[in-house]
Amino acid sequence: MKTTLKCMAAACGLMALNTLAASAQDLPQTMVWTSYDVGSAGYAEASAIADAFGKKFGTRVRLQPSGSGIGRLQPLLQGRADYAYLATEAFFVSEGAYDFATKDWGPRALRAVAGRPAGITLIAAGDAGIDTVADARGKRIAFVAGNPSVNVKCEAILAFGGLTLDDVEVVTFPTYAAAMSSMTRNESDATCTTPTTSQLYELAESPRGIHYAPLEPDNAAGWEGLLKVLPIMSPSEEDVAAGLKEGEIAKMAAYRYPVITTTPDKSADEVYAFIKALDETFDIYKGGTATMGRWTLERSGKPAIDVPFHEGAIRYLKEKGIWTAEDDAWNEKRIARMDALLAAWDAFKPANEGLSDEDFAAAWMARRAEVVAGLN
């Protein structure tokens, strides 16, 4: 009898191991992910998901934080990281735009796995006298060195209020964390970011307080100005934000942050396993931060997003009944745009190598605009 029980226990143990192996969806034993630096919403969410992967599948994840978009992208593109938890630098590098309009960069092909919807607006210290975006004229606005994700969104939001960078005092900080905490230190008056970044909770509790400049959805002129600068956002109502009282709504713009990104040559099976694991561990990590409930694939696995979805992710989304024919059409159009810019770059770069860095960037941005206009 004891022998039988031992055999049954051994069999059950073997079955459990087999079940674990099967449920792990062939995830690698170890992975490296890049993210925003410590203290950011992106780092907190990547940490929560990594912890969930470890608990359910035994996968060990090493997070590599960086305060700059380039710092998050280079390990991914050089094959030293498996996935990158990016912000809008995913869109910019796919276009070769802004900080990536250089001889060393240009457009790069990327693919999305999933991306959480996020809100953003001009977030000001409560004592700065910035009730609306237009009130930011002459105020100190915190930017981040080498981070077009923050900076260009801020430029777009300022355009909502009829302002350009010439109308404000841009104060550039070396890292994202330094910029986000600068209002609490009274080194700036406002910035643009997601409303759940940890430094904003500190601002809300500080003597300065916090205020969200509204981006009203019915302000047609404001939205026209914003979208001319950055055409990847839409009106959003946010009820989770630092210092926001229960029941209150802040009118913001929506984009995707963080966007889990990889390269097109990443194995479809591996990406399929990743997004399936992301789905299967949702109940473990969904309480990690106030906004992690938005990682449901019904919200995070749908266009529009900064770059095309990876074929491995699409396979799983179709199996779940989430991906539609309209989503396929969007993805094909987005791939066509990326391919057109890559082809244009291949012709443009060798023909313009002799230009100064500044002239090269300006010429490429003009060429990029021509290519994009020709696709519409």
Collect all residues with Cβ–Cβ distance below 8 Å to 265 and sequence separation of at least 6. Answer: none
Query: The CATH number of 22-375 is which of 3.40.190.10, 3.40.50.10470, 3.40.50.720, 2.30.38.10?
Result: 3.40.190.10
What pLDDT sits at residue 324? Answer: 98
Token pair recorded at residue 339? 């391919």
Identity at 29, one-letter amino acid code: Q
Domain ranges across the chain:
22-375
What pLDDT sits at residue 376? Answer: 66
Split at pLDDT 50, 70, 90, the class of 14 is very low
Q: What percent of the chain has pLDDT over 70?
A: 93
Find, among 217, 197, 180, the residue nearest to 291 by Cα: 197
Q: Average of pLDDT values for 106-113?
A: 98
The angle formed by the CA atoms of residues 219, 224 and 225, to the nearest 5 degrees, is 105
What pLDDT sits at residue 262? Answer: 98
- Residue indicated by tokens 């990743």: 274
Q: Pick the more confident residue, 219 or 40.
A: 219
Q: Pick the more confident residue, 124 or 117.
A: 124
Instruction: Identify the three-state secondary structure at position 231.
Output: coil
Tens-place pLDDT, residues 317-374? 999 999 999 999 999 999 999 999 999 999 999 999 999 999 999 999 999 999 998 9
- Residue indicated by tokens 């047609």: 220
Q: What is the CA radius of gyration of the chain?
A: 22
* End-to-end C-alpha distance for the chain, whole angstroms: 76
Tens-place pLDDT, residues 267-316? 999 999 999 999 999 999 999 988 899 999 999 999 888 999 999 999 99
Exposed, middle or buried: residue 137 (CB in 10 Å: 0-12, 13-18, 19+)? middle
Q: Where are the alpha helices (DSSP H) in 24-175?
A: 41-57, 69-77, 89-95, 148-160
Tens-place pLDDT, residues 219-247? 999 999 998 888 788 888 999 899 999 99
The one-character DSSP state at 292 is G
Token pair recorded at residue 52? 């969930």
Instruction: Identify the three-state secondary structure at position 35.
Output: strand
What rounded mean pLDDT belongs to the chain? 91
Whole-prediction pTM: 0.77
Token pair recorded at residue 50? 């990594």
Q: How many CB atoms lie within 10 A of CB 346?
A: 11
Q: How many CB atoms lie within 10 A of CB 228?
A: 10
